[in-house]
């Protein structure tokens, strides 16, 4: 069979992904095996694949593929989130392009457009994940607005309302003037902005005196209903009982005194605008102040403001400064930097706004979720996020769960004309409760997170809320709690905490055991990747250029848990180069001519160097596999990949294959003995298994090219490589010395410009006459002999590895002056090293506090350095 010279990733990806689907290798149903379950963080239905998705889903796929190979019943549930704000914005924009205004449509008409959009575009991101190699059980794909999942959301609302946990009230909320909806505290991003701090003079009524306040939001002045100062502030005590005149609208308002005001901050005087600031609202409630909403929902100035009506809030901000300056009421304007809240979804500046909303009380329901993490029942990886989680959960506010949108689960609250409210699942139920048919349903929908917090439950059993855990279906009982959740730290509270709350509330159990928190994907300058900066490559373009395996490896080579990933395209190039290295190693092995037992009429004996190399690599594989497994167990994904990478590239390709590669005689490669070939194929199969979670496509391709296999004999379901029962650590340590020796000989050839084909002799100063790795050293260093001697070798190139001296007789190839210079430099280095070690050992504090094994290591360093210094000094003496 002809093997392609260059690996073709596109061909392999198309072939094997479809093959895996056809053979249903991703499919999972409950059986007698132990389950391993991951639910995908459902991407927004509006989304297309970006670098964050690539990172997150590659990690999930690595975990699920390894679990499958370990014999677990691996189930990875995919799906998408209906993303109320983002999707509604997309549909509104699409309608606008067609000349249709949302306001001209009924709710039902709009929702038909939204569902049409979802059916056309909503599955794009899941199809893109297939290009990455995601081995999800696609038969289980869910969508958060499916009928049965939506019914579960409504069931939860009704249940929590009946438990007294959900209430409706006028509260100060975060208002998104572009999305025209309230958003929760967690959906507000606070960014540093350049602002103007305007010092405005308010005239004291019946006086020519003024009191000055400082504000960054002068457009809200028309909503002022008081000015407040601290009662202990001597500057203003004489103004007790006075009123002040609000500029622009000339409204007379009281000057109030309250200790809330910090007398040392700014002018010590505060404009009080109850409709536009939570603290002002609280002051207004306390002092029974009037509330005037100066802004419309869309961020324009309202009629109630009495001036600048209909003007955009930011245009008004500029104009009012000009106008007040002309009236002599601006004392000064300072340029400052402050934090401004932006809507996570629309990037619009948030306005605090009084609004009638629905809230979930968080004080009681959050306690089990806090305990779950603090007790270690749910593990956050890395642990540094535990304190962040604890702080948030201990200071949690009630959750505003209503959104002023049409796309989403509509709140099941009903109203009659008498001001009565009931919560009921259907209109007919509400009519019975309200005793009238003249009712209307609440216009708002529920926050998207109020549906996705049920995700680990309802993807398996949408009836869990109705039926309870005791009557849960077979799927939920088998797969829940799930094992690992891979997500981003920025939704630790949006989603992770709330899923734990829901899990505890409705099953009494945690929803998952481990939460692996990825970092943010940034460019090499440390900037967050974004379309606006133009620094975010298209993942599909990367896959087309470097292959899916190359991109997967590239992403995870630089991705420590919880830390940001500084992405550079060169990592994907490195991943592609690794795939090419593996392919070339495979081609080399398959290119060997295998001797069937005779060689020119003589017995085809296995070379001693091959036998030794096989024993070494067998031990090396077990040693590194143990390390790889430990990395996996601690979720050190990048470390697991790097250890695998080095095992393949360095140990297998650079050392093992070179050691067993047949010799060339008269320009022709000799046959390889069957025992060595079979061992090499076994090693390659073991390595393919270890590489498969990271590089699924090339490993499956090579797996099937190695030998003829049954249709279900695939690496995707092959058994994970096992650790050898006994490990010869001494043998591994000795080979490290052999590697250093071979490397030194190769360096000497390069320094002395000797031909790689010229055979050299190496002499070890030792009492022994043979060592286990002699045959491998002779082959890899291209030696005619490897000898032992009790004496030093005069005139030879001398070097030392640990405490052992070696000599290479080079006849006329040694330049005496160069050799003296080299030895002198090496002597100085070792003397400096010895001095640093002895200084450490002379430190009584270090010796008293260090562990015994650490002291032993330092003592060994001292001994080795002394030995090297003595050997180099002796060599210099002979040179002179």
Closest among 226, 199, 227 to 324, alpha carbons compared: 199
Q: Kind of pairing, strands 226-229 and 251-257? A: parallel
Whole-angstrom Cα distance, residue 572 to residue 555? 7
When pLDDT is cut at 50, 70 and 90, the band that residue 797 belongs to is confident
Which of 241-245, 727-731, 754-758 comes out lowest in average pLDDT? Answer: 754-758
When pLDDT is cut at 50, 70 and 90, the band that residue 814 belongs to is low
Predicted structure pTM score: 0.84
Q: Residue 220, exposed/middle/buried by CB under 10 A (0-12, 13-18, 19+)?
A: buried
Whole-angstrom Cα distance, residue 99 to residue 461? 42
First to last CA, the chain: 63
Whole-angstrom Cα distance, residue 854 to residue 138? 53
Reduced to 3 DSSP states, what percent helix, strand and coil does the chain have, rounded to the nearest 5? 45, 20, 35
Residues 6+ apart with CB under 8 A from 1: 705
Give 840's Cβ-side CA count (13 Å radius): 15
Which of 165-174, 385-394, 849-858 comes out lowest in average pLDDT? Answer: 849-858
Whole-angstrom Cα distance, residue 453 to residue 341? 25
Closest among 462, 437, 434 to 154, alpha carbons compared: 462
The CA distances from residue 619 to 21, 141, 375, 635, 737, in Å, are 36, 43, 39, 24, 16
35 φ, ψ (degrees, to nearest 5): -80, 150
**pLDDT attached to residue 812:** 60
**pLDDT attached to residue 205:** 96
97-150 pLDDT, tens digit each: 999 999 999 999 999 999 999 999 888 999 999 999 999 999 999 999 999 999
Higher model confidence: residue 157 or residue 179?
Answer: 157
**pLDDT attached to residue 561:** 65
Please, what sign has the CA dihedral across residues 403, 406, 411, 416? positive
Closest among 293, 287, 288, 290 to 309, alpha carbons compared: 293
Closest among 367, 377, 379, 392 to 517, alpha carbons compared: 379
| Mean pLDDT of all residues in 260-278 | 92
CA-angle at 539, arms to 535 and 541, nearest 5°: 95
Residue 267 has pLDDT above 70, yes or no: yes
Residue 495 has pLDDT above 90, yes or no: yes
Residue 250 has pLDDT above 50, yes or no: yes
Higher model confidence: residue 598 or residue 646?
Answer: 646
Which bin fits 635, alpha (ψ -120 to 50), beta or left (φ > 0)?
left
Residue 603 has pLDDT above 70, yes or no: no
Please, what sign has the CA dihedral across residues 446, 142, 75, 20? negative
**pLDDT attached to residue 546:** 97
**pLDDT attached to residue 599:** 40
When pLDDT is cut at 50, 70 and 90, the band that residue 852 belongs to is confident
Which of 32-36, 93-97, 730-734, 875-879 comes out lowest in average pLDDT? Answer: 875-879
Which of 74-78, 400-404, 459-463 comes out lowest in average pLDDT? Answer: 400-404
Q: Kind of pairing, strands 73-77 and 35-39? A: parallel
378-437 pLDDT, tens digit each: 999 999 999 999 999 999 989 999 999 999 999 999 999 999 999 999 999 999 999 999
* Mean pLDDT across the chain: 92
When pLDDT is cut at 50, 70 and 90, the band that residue 375 belongs to is very high
| Mean pLDDT of all residues in 179-206 | 91
When pLDDT is cut at 50, 70 and 90, the band that residue 879 belongs to is low
Whole-angstrom Cα distance, residue 877 to residue 880? 5
Higher model confidence: residue 755 or residue 545?
Answer: 545
Residue 171 has pLDDT above 80, yes or no: yes
When pLDDT is cut at 50, 70 and 90, the band that residue 600 belongs to is very low
**pLDDT attached to residue 604:** 61
Residue 831 has pLDDT above 50, yes or no: yes
Residue 482 has pLDDT above 80, yes or no: yes
Closest among 179, 222, 198 to 311, alpha carbons compared: 222
When pLDDT is cut at 50, 70 and 90, the band that residue 699 belongs to is very high
Residue 373 has pLDDT above 80, yes or no: yes
Residue 598 has pLDDT above 50, yes or no: no
Residue 597 has pLDDT above 60, yes or no: no
Closest among 199, 222, 221, 225 to 212, alpha carbons compared: 199
Which bin fits 835, alpha (ψ -120 to 50), beta or left (φ > 0)?
alpha
Which of 30-34, 45-49, 559-563, 669-673 comes out lowest in average pLDDT? Answer: 559-563
Whole-angstrom Cα distance, residue 185 to residue 763? 74
């Amino acid at each position: 069979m002809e093997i392609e010279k260059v690996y073709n990733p596109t061909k392999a990806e198309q072939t094997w992904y479809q093959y895996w689907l056809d053979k249903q290798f991703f499919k999972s149903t409950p059986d007698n095996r132990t389950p391993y379950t991951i639910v995908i963080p459902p991407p927004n239905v509006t989304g297309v694949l970006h670098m964050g998705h690539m990172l997150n889903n590659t990690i999930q796929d690595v975990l699920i593929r390894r679990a499958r190979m370990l014999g677990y019943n691996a189930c990875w549930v995919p799906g998408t989130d209906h993303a109320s704000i983002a999707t509604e914005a997309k549909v509104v924009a699409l309608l606008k392009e067609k000349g249709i205004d949302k306001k001209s449509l009924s709710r039902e008409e709009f929702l038909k457009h939204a569902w049409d959009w979802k059916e056309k575009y909503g599955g794009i991101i899941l199809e893109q994940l297939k290009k990455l190699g995601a081995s999800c059980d696609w038969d289980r794909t869910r969508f958060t607005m499916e009928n049965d999942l939506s019914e579960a959301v409504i069931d939860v609302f009704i249940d929590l309302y009946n438990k007294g946990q959900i209430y409706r009230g006028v509260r100060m909320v975060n208002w998104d003037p572009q999305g025209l909806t309230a958003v929760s505290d967690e959906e507000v991003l606070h960014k540093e902005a350049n602002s103007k701090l305007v010092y405005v003079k308010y005239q004291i009524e019946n006086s020519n005196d003024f009191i000055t306040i400082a504000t960054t939001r002068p457009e809200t002045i028309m909503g002022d209903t008081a000015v407040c100062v601290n009662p202990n502030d001597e500057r203003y005590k004489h103004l007790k009982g006075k009123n002040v005149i609000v500029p622009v609208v000339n409204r007379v308002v009281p000057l109030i005194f309250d200790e809330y005001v910090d007398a040392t901050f700014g002018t010590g005087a505060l404009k009080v605008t109850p409709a536009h600031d939570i603290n002002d609202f609280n002051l207004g409630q306390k002092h029974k102040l009037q509330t005037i909403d100066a802004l419309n929902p869309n961020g324009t100035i309202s009629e109630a403001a009495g001036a600048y009506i209909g003007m955009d809030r930011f245009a008004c901000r500029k104009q009012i400064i000009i106008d007040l300056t002309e009236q002599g009421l601006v004392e000064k304007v300072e340029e400052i930097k402050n934090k401004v809240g932006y809507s996570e979804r629309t990037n619009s500046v948030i306005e605090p706004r009084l609004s009638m909303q629905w809230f979930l009380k968080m004080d009681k329901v959050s306690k089990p979720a806090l305990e779950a993490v603090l007790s270690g029942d749910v593990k956050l990886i890395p642990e540094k996020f535990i304190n962040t989680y604890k702080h948030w959960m201990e200071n949690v506010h009630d959750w505003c769960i209503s959104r002023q949108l049409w796309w989403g689960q509509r709140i099941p609250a009903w109203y009659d004309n008498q001001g009565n409210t009931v919560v009921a699942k259907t209109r007919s139920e509400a009519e019975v409760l309200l005793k009238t048919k003249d009712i209307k349903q609440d216009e708002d929908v529920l926050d998207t997170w109020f549906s996705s917090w049920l995700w680990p439950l309802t993807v398996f059993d949408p009836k869990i809320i109705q039926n309870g855990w005791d009557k849960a279906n077979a799927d939920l009982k088998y797969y829940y709690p799930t094992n690992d959740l891979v997500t981003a730290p920025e939704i630790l509270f949006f989603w992770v905490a709330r899923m734990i709350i829901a899990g505890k509330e409705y099953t009494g159990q945690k929803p998952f055991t481990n939460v692996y928190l990825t970092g943010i994907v940034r460019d090499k300058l440390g900037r967050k990747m974004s379309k606006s900066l133009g620094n975010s490559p298209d993942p599909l373009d990367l896959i087309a250029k470097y292959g899916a395996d190359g991109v997967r490896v590239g992403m995870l080579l630089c991705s420590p848990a919880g830390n940001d990933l500084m992405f550079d395209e060169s990592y994907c190039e490195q991943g592609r180069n690794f795939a090419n290295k593996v392919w070339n190693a495979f081609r080399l092995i398959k290119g060997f001519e295998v001797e069937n037992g005779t060689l020119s009429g003589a017995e085809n004996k296995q070379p001693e160097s091959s036998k030794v190399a096989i024993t070494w690599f067998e031990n090396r594989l077990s040693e590194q596999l143990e390390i790889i497994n430990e990395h996996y167990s601690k979720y050190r994904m990048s470390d697991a990949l790097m250890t695998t990478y080095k095992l393949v590239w360095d140990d297998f390709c650079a050392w093992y294959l070179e050691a067993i590669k047949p010799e060339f005689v008269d320009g022709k490669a000799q046959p390889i003995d069957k025992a060595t070939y079979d061992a090499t194929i076994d090693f390659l199969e073991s390595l393919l298994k270890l590489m498969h979670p990271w590089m699924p496509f090339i490993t499956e391709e090579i797996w099937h090219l190695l030998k003829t296999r049954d249709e279900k004999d695939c690496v995707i379901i092959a058994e994970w490589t096992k650790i050898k029962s006994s490990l010869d650590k001494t043998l591994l340590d000795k080979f490290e010395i052999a590697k250093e020796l071979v490397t030194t000989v190769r360096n000497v050839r390069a320094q002395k410009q000797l031909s790689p084909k010229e055979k050299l002799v190496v002499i070890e100063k030792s009492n022994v006459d043979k060592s286990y790795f002699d045959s491998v050293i002779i082959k890899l260093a291209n030696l005619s002999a490897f000898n032992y001697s009790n004496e030093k070798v005069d005139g030879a190139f001398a070097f030392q590895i640990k405490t052992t001296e070696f000599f290479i007789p080079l006849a006329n190839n040694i330049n005496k002056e160069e050799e003296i210079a080299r030895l002198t430099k090496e002597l100085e280095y070792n003397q400096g090293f010895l001095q640093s070690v002895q200084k450490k050992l002379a430190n009584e504090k270090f010796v008293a506090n260090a562990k015994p094994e650490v002291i032993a290591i330092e003592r060994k360093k001292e001994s080795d350095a002394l030995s090297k210094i003595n050997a180099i000094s002796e060599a210099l003496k002979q040179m002179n």
